[in-house]
Amino acid sequence: MRRPRAPLFLARAVYRKRRLRDAARLLPLLGFFLLVLPLLWDAAPGRGAGQTVVYIFGVWAGLIGLAAYLAPGLARPDADDQAEDS
């Protein structure tokens, strides 16, 4: 069998770019969710403080990494559909 051809979708770049923006909008919500998660943990004094520190710094670094991954695509100006789609 032949490989299926590229799906019939025009303006793929524009579509990608819009979804990239959606991702950028969702990122702080994801971050907030992950950062309030430790509140639900069993926080007995002296236990798990180190884990919590590592977890929070890990989430933090992850957010920075994701933001750095998204930023170049978002910053690139091109003349597709700058009209706000929100």
Partner 1 sequence: MSFNALVLTCLAYVAFLFLVAFVVERRASRGQMGFLRSPLVYTLSLSIYCTAWTFYGAVGYAARSGLEFLTIYLGPTLIFVGWWWVLRKLVRIGRQQRVTSIADLISSRYGKSNLLGVLVTVIAVVAATPYIALQLQSVTLSFGVFASATPESWALPNRDATAVWVAAGLALFTILFGTRNLDAKEQHHGIVMAIAVEAVVKLVALLAVGIFVVWGLGGGPVAMIERIETYADPNWVIQPGRWVGLIFLSAAAVISLPRMFQVMVVENVDEGHLARASWAFPLYLFLMSLFILPIAVIGLERMPADTNPDMLVLTLPLAEGQGGLAMLAFLGGFSSATSMVIVETIALATMLSNHILMPAWLWLRPKAALSGDLRGGILLARRLSIMGVLALGLAYFRLSGGSAALAAIGLIAFAGMAQVLPALLGGIFWRGGTQAGALMGLSIGFVVWAFTLFLPSFGAGAVMSAQVFEQGLFGLGWLRPQALFGTSGMDPLTHSIFWSLALNTAAYAVGSLMSFPDPVERIQGAAFVNAFDDEVQAERLGWTHGQAEPEALMNMAQRILGDEAAISFFEAEAGGQGKAGFLPDLTPAFLAGLERRLAGSVGAATAHAMISQLFGRATVTVEDLLAVANETAQIMEYSARLEEQQGELSRTARQLREVNEKLTQLSVQKDAFLSQISHELRTPMTSIRAFSEILTEGDLPAAMVANYGRIIHDEAKRLTRLLDDLLDLSVLENGTVQLNLELANLGDLIDRSLAAASQTRPERAFDIQRDYTKEEIFLRTDPDRLVQVFINLISNSRKYCDAADPVLRIAVRQKGGRVVVDFLDNGLGIAKESQGLIFEKFARLTDQSRAGGAGLGLAICREVMANLGGTVTYVPGQRGAAFRVTVPLRLEKTALAG
User: Which of 70, 60, 61 lies closest to 24, judged by CA?
Assistant: 70
18 near partner 1, judged by CB under 8 A: no
Q: How far apart (Å, rounded) are the C-alpha atoms in residues 18 and 38?
A: 32
Indicate if the alpha-carbon torsion angle 72, 78, 84, 86 is positive or negative.
Answer: negative
Candidate segments 1-9, 10-18, 56-64, binder of partner 1 by CB under 8 A: 56-64
Residues at the site binding partner 1, with contacts judged by CB under 8 A: 21, 24-25, 27-29, 31-32, 35-36, 38-39, 43, 45-50, 52-54, 56-57, 60-61, 63-68, 71-72, 74-75, 77, 79, 82-84
